[in-house]
């Protein structure tokens, strides 16, 4: 089904108008090889759970690190699947927050969305509520059976 351009524009404007006053949008580019992931002791029967640390570059998240735990569940021979991430961001000056997100991937890339964990903020993020997204995700296979992962991490603090 093709959606008329006017409906898409209306939806985009509605979302933009719903951003609360005082909301802060933070962005950073993420790039890493998934070979850095370490399996946890808690492996799901139908997937895999790994931990890793990433460091967004550029934008407002430059200098922050994220300790992440990711659960991946492939389907149809790995042609597509779902994943869940629990992340804890630590930024310069003791500022930080935790978030949870869920997403999906297929041969065209991946995307995810979630929320900042309530009362997880420290420093300038104390009391922050909001959303998180991983946008424009790609996974490029490399030799050795790993993949180079890239996406934009976007935090919409939604005000405090």
The whole model's pTM is what?
0.81
DSSP for 38-82 reads EE-S---TTSEEEEEEE--BSGGGTT-EEEEEEEEEEEGGGTEEE
Give 29-58 pLDDT, tens digit per residue. 999 999 999 999 999 999 999 999 999 999
Please report, for the chain, the start and end positions of each structural domain, with discontinuous segments joined by +.
20-156
Rg of the chain over Cα atoms, rounded to whole angstroms, equals 17
Give the CATH fold of the 20-156 domain.
Answer: AOC barrel-like (2.40.350)
Which tens digit of pLDDT belongs to each residue from 51-101?
999 999 999 999 999 999 999 999 988 889 999 999 999 999 999 999 999
């Amino acid at each position: 089904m093709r959606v008329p351009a006017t409906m898409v524009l209306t939806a985009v404007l509605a979302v933009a108008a719903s951003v609360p006053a005082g909301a802060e949008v933070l962005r950073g580019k993420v790039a890493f090889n998934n070979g850095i992931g370490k399996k946890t002791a808690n492996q799901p029967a139908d997937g895999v759970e790994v931990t890793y640390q990433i460091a967004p570059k550029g934008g407002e998240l430059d200098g922050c690190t994220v300790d992440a735990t990711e659960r991946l569940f492939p389907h149809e021979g790995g042609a597509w699947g779902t994943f869940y991430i629990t992340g804890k961001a630590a930024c310069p000056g003791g500022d930080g927050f935790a978030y949870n997100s869920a997403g999906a991937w297929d041969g065209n890339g991946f995307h995810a969305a979630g929320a900042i964990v309530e009362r997880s903020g420290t420093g300038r993020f104390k009391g922050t509520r909001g959303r998180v997204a991983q946008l424009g995700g790609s996974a490029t296979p490399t030799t050795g059976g790993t993949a180079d992962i890239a996406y934009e991490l976007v935090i919409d603090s939604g005000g405090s």
